[in-house]
Each structure stands twice: as C-alpha cells, then as structure tokens.
Amino acid sequence: MKNIWGSLSILARYYLISMISFFICWSIFSIFNLEWINALFFMTSYVWHFTLLTPGLKEKMLTKKQRFSFINVVVRTNYYLQLFIKIKKVPFGPSIIRAISPLLFTAILLVVGGSGNILFTLLGSVCFEATHYLLSKKSLSKSTSKQPGDSEIPPAIPSAENFHE
C-alpha cells in the first residue's frame, strides 16, 4: 500500500484525501436528511476551499489568460483578499480569509435570488478546513516533506507584457 501511495503525485494524493474527506462529511450530513438547497450550499463551500488549495492551480490561474473562467474569479478574489486583509496574529488566519469569498457569494445569491443558507456555507468551509488541517498535520508528522498549501504571501500577478509573443 505504501508503494502505491508513494507512486502517486502530490496532486493525486491531494485529490484522493480531499474527496475521501468530502464523502465522509457528506455521509454525516446525509444522515440528517437535509434539504437539497442546504446540501448544495455545503458542497459549494467545500469545493470552493478544495479549489483554492489545489496544488499549482493558483499559479496557473494568475499567470495564464483565463478571462471567463469562474475558477479564475474564485482564485483572484482570494488573491486580492489575501493582499488586503492581513491576519498574521490570529490562528488559522488564511482559513478565515478563504472563508470570506464563499460567504460573499452566498450573500449575493441571498440578495439577488432570495435563497441562500449562510449556515451551511460556513459548515462546508469549516469541514474542509478541519479535515485538511488534521490530514496535513498527520501527514507532516509522518514525512519530512511539506504538503502544498495556501501560502501567506500570494504570488505576484505577471504583467500583460508576459502574455505577448
């Protein structure tokens, strides 16, 4: 089993761990027989955080022309929130910053569409951040290599001159 795990790339390990933890959280919430809209907000927030912490995605979205991609909007919103909100003294500061953008999205849906559940958006954020923290802490104690995560300092956005041939 260690040979198979060792042969997986960092991205494949991240996908596997995150999706297993998603199905565990989802099975716990499915016991309570939630309404479909609440489950949708939980999934949206969970996948939002999953996307933000995907290894290499932030750099790809910030350096390439992905103008009309919703993932680009998600990554850039988090990038600008990291630039303007500096929470270094608070434990789990980057997690709090990552939780702001799905809450804003839910608030916009609540105002414009009339439906939205901020509680389940928060639950999705907390579930992902808790499982990611616990699993990365466990894997860091076993290995000396650090798992990729969300850095405190966001990478610089290249100028438009880099895109010209």
Burial of 136 (0-12, 13-18, 19+ CB in 10 A): middle
Give domain status of residue 16, yes or no: yes
Give domain status of residue 156, yes or no: no
Give the model confidence (pLDDT) of 21-57 as tens digits.
Answer: 888 888 887 888 878 888 888 888 888 888 888 888 7
10/136: higher pLDDT: 10
Give domain status of residue 55, yes or no: yes
CA dihedral 92, 109, 78, 133 (to 10 degrees): 30
Segments forming the whole domain that contains residue 62: 2-147
Question: Apex CA 23: angle with CA 25 and CA 121, to 5°?
Answer: 45
Burial of 25 (0-12, 13-18, 19+ CB in 10 A): buried
Give domain status of residue 10, yes or no: yes
CB atoms within 10 A of CB 82: 20
Number of domains the chain is built from = 1
Give domain status of residue 81, yes or no: yes
Give the model confidence (pLDDT) of 86-120 as tens digits.
Answer: 776 777 777 788 888 888 888 888 888 777 778 88
Rg (CA), the chain: 17
Rounded to an integer, the average pLDDT of 67-76 is 78
pLDDT for residue 107: 86
Give domain status of residue 106, yes or no: yes
pTM of the model: 0.73
The confidence band for 165, taking pLDDT boundaries of 50, 70 and 90, is very low
